[in-house]
Amino acid sequence: MAPISLTFPDGNARDYEAGITPAAVAEGISKSLSKKAISATVNGQHWDLAWPIDADAQIAIHTMADEEQANELVRHDLAHIMARAVQEIWPDTQVTIGPVIKDGWYYDFDRAEPFTPEDLGVIEKKMREIINKRDPVRTEVWERDVAIQYYKDRGEPYKVELIDAIPGDEPLRMYWHGDWQDLCRGPHLQHTGQVPGDAFKLMSIAGAYWRGDSDRAMLQRIYGVAFTGKEKLRAHLNMLEEAAKRDHRKLGREMDLFHMQEEAPGQIFWHPNGWTIYTELQDYMRRKQRKGGYVEVNTPQVVDRRLWEASGHWEKYQEHMFIVEVDEDHAREKAVNALKPMNCPCHVQVYNQGLKSYRDLPLRMAEFGSCNRYEPSGALHGIMRVRGFTQDDGHIFCREDQIEEETAIYIDYLTQIYKDLGFESFRVKFSDRPEARAGSDEIWDKAEEALLSATRAAGIEPELNPGEGAFYGPKLEFVLTDAIGRDWQCGTHQVDFVLPERLDATYIGADGAKHRPVMLHRACLGSFERFIGILIEEHAGKLPFWLAPRQVVVASIISDADDYVTKVVAALRAAGIRAEADIRNEKINYKVREHSVGKVPVILAVGAREVEERTVTVRRLGQKQTSVQPLDDLIGELSHDATPPDQR
Ligand SMILES: [Zn+2]
Ligand SMILES: [Zn+2]
């Protein structure tokens, strides 16, 4: 065969026989690389060490140091190893599919008897035995009919069905981990011993329908997590433990913030404590908006389908809309309305009232827009993913030449808000033009350039999401990282050339002619509901003092102090501090414990001595020590912390 040329990451090229495998290439470089190698990337494709290369190519050999490839292979090999372990322990089990997912993998099994949590330990032990055997991983390409016959003979109908679903021109690849065989695209590691045996854990068992179809068999899914080293596994398990402690649903109960019930799925019943956080945050945002030059509007909840048809939502978004049919008196036909899933079309209606001139632009319009979206019940999650929510929504109507400046102003505005709310830094993702899009290339060039240069001018280098922009324009997304390293996409800033056209928004230019404004869709928090969920988890319930719903509880130690408690509460309230009395006939330790669980930041205990000296004994959340302070001094201190950051 003719020689081929392989180019390495350092730019050097070497000639090889066509059909050479990356394993042989690695061996030619060094013995140690050949041992350490786990896979290759060939012309951008993740490539098994055993797959031949037939033409000139770019090649990179990977080792465990290449985190991305190593994680994928380790998790993928573990899926096979787990399936083998399960079949070795329970030979009557049928195997189906086992993909890699974030942080790990799962595999779906068909077995009459349910797996128990105790089984997970047994399976893990067997998996470690397989890893310790260092069984070689082999691969072959099979003829379709041979593969089908093989799985029929073995009584594995799921695999037969999988093969039937693979397009006819695609080669069928088989992998062996030792003697155990699975249908798989690959790539895989060289041998089972390359999987770190101390860096994985089986996590849970769940039910899953075959092919996600509720008319098909119910299978048993086992989830695992895996990393390239045991420290990384430990860090991940710690993060999960920490996340469970911070879960806003648990803290929401303990702090008595809200509840949800079956009659209103995905809708929140806010309790006084939760609603206090909500309104504090909303008041803050309203002040920021005013200072930011926005006008606030409010638009209808129930809107006739004709507007949604004009905006395009009826066609593109209907499955997520709550439809409301109304029998209007005297109407010939039923009126079909929808609860608004977004505020944008309504804002254009406000804009369209009266003639606009170029001097009116930019027009920054904001609404605390209550929206309803039909989310599938499986996607709902506490107050983070709901069906009824309120966005801190806004639309900037501007001229094309104002996009960059408005973007810069917006980034500055958002930076201040995130900082005030305790997030010092954030990342920005930039999504540029998708394949299917509206508008000319020229206008896309300008809009993308405007978003990029405004972001860079703010000292932020955005991460590129190629082709992920909306069909109506490019966008920026703002991602916060919380205290335990999780990412939350909150803010968005989206250019839209299409909606003003569809809903016929215009302005009169300096030339006296009609022009289309550009619309910038933007939100900082995203929705109040989700953002409050993030704040609760970020702070593990210990919210900044100004947002804490109950800032101070004044608890009596003896009933003779009740009058003084009332006076202390009144003095705190007069200073603008949210204070409550606790004069129940309970022991002070009991009261302290209860309010600590409720995450009250300051508990004041008062007994005979405090009454006499006009002092309070102060216990701050999370601190063991208490201190005795004159009441007036304490009020001075607390009223500073109770003031929202923009008013200090
Ligand atoms: Zn595989
Ligand atoms: Zn919008």
Q: Is the pLDDT of residue 172 over 80?
A: yes
Report pLDDT for 214: 86
Q: Give the ligand at the shortest distance from the Cα of 369.
A: 2
- Nearest residue to 37 via CA among 21, 20, 18, 15: 21
Q: Is the pLDDT of residue 86 over 80?
A: yes
pLDDT band at 330 (very low <50, low <70, confident <90, very high): low
Catalytic residue from among 159, 305, 313, 395:
395
Question: CB–CB of 427/395 below 8 Å?
Answer: no
Residue 639 CA to ligand 2 centre (angstroms): 38
Report pLDDT for 168: 80
Report pLDDT for 1: 61
* Residue 353 falls in the annotated catalytic set: no
Q: Give the ligand at the shortest distance from the Cα of 493.
A: 2
What residues pair up with 176 in beta bridges, in sequence order?
Answer: 138, 181
Q: Is the pLDDT of residue 20 over 90?
A: yes
Range 452-462 average pLDDT: 95
pLDDT band at 212 (very low <50, low <70, confident <90, very high): confident
Residue 100 CA to ligand 1 centre (angstroms): 9
* Residue 184 falls in the annotated catalytic set: no
Catalytic residue from among 159, 177, 305, 373:
373
Report pLDDT for 331: 62
Range 345-350 average pLDDT: 98
Task: Check residues 575 and 145 and name the one with the higher pLDDT.
Answer: 575
Identify residue 291 by its one-letter amino acid code. Answer: K
Range 373-379 average pLDDT: 90
Q: How far is the C-alpha of 314 from the C-alpha of 65, rounded, in Å? A: 50
Q: Give the ligand at the shortest distance from the Cα of 365.
A: 2
| Helices and strands, number each (H, E), in the chain | 20, 33
Catalytic residue from among 188, 221, 475, 619:
475
* Residue 629 falls in the annotated catalytic set: no
Going through 312-361 in order, the beta strands assigned E by DSSP cover 323-326, 335-339
Which segment of 38-52, 104-118, 163-177, 189-203 scores lowest on mean pLDDT? 163-177
Range 597-601 average pLDDT: 97
pLDDT digits (tens, 9 = 90+) for 542-594: 999 999 999 999 999 999 999 999 999 999 999 999 999 999 999 999 999 99
pLDDT digits (tens, 9 = 90+) for 89-128: 999 999 999 999 999 999 999 999 999 999 999 999 999 9
Q: Is the pLDDT of residue 180 over 70?
A: yes
* Residue 381 falls in the annotated catalytic set: no
Catalytic residue from among 119, 182, 393, 496:
393
CA 523 from chain centre, in angstroms, equals 16
Q: How far is the C-alpha of 498 from the C-alpha of 213, rounded, in Å? A: 37
Range 73-98 average pLDDT: 96
* Residue 475 falls in the annotated catalytic set: yes
Residue 181 CA to ligand 1 centre (angstroms): 10
Residue 547 CA to ligand 2 centre (angstroms): 28
Residue 90 CA to ligand 1 centre (angstroms): 21
Q: Is the pLDDT of residue 332 over 80?
A: no
Q: Is the pLDDT of residue 41 over 70?
A: yes
Which residue has tokens 């909606």?
499
